[in-house]
């Protein structure tokens, strides 16, 4: 982002701002197990919801229970 190849281009306009903004970005903390929980718990449950095989309340409860257990393991 700070290279001349990026900063001195016509587009995006004011490209230098992208590099400068990185000093102000506050990233949310991410748990090391999040990718696994996302795939094995959240995505799996959302697939059941979207296919009509489970209702929203059950999906939310299952995500909470299985997600909490996975993070503690």
Per-residue pLDDT tens over the stretch 30-41: 899 999 999 999
18 in the same domain as 36: no
**Distance between CA 43 and CA 24 in Å, rounded?**
32
23 in the same domain as 45: no
Reported pTM: 0.62
Give how many domains the chain has, as a whole number: 2
39 in the same domain as 22: no
Our CA dihedral for 46, 27, 9, 5, rounded to 10 degrees, sits at -100
35 in the same domain as 68: yes
- Which conformational region is residue 9 in: left (phi greater than 0), alpha (psi within -120 to 50 degrees), or beta? beta
For residue 3, the enclosing domain spans 1-28
**E strands of 12-68, at which residues?**
none
70 in the same domain as 37: yes
- State residue 11's pLDDT score: 65
- Statement: residue 68 has pLDDT above 70: yes
37 in the same domain as 20: no
**Distance between CA 18 and CA 14 in Å, rounded?**
8
Helix (H) or strand (E) holding 31: none
* Chain segment 42-64, per-residue pLDDT in tens: 999 999 999 999 999 999 999 99
């Amino acid at each position: 982002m700070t290279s001349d190849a990026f900063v001195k281009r016509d587009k995006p306009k004011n490209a230098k701002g992208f590099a400068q903004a990185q000093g102000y970005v506050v990233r949310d903390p991410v748990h090391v197990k999040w990718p696994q929980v996302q795939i094995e718990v959240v995505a799996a449950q959302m697939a059941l919801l979207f296919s009509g095989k489970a209702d929203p309340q059950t999906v939310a409860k299952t995500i909470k229970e299985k997600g909490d257990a996975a993070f503690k393991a």
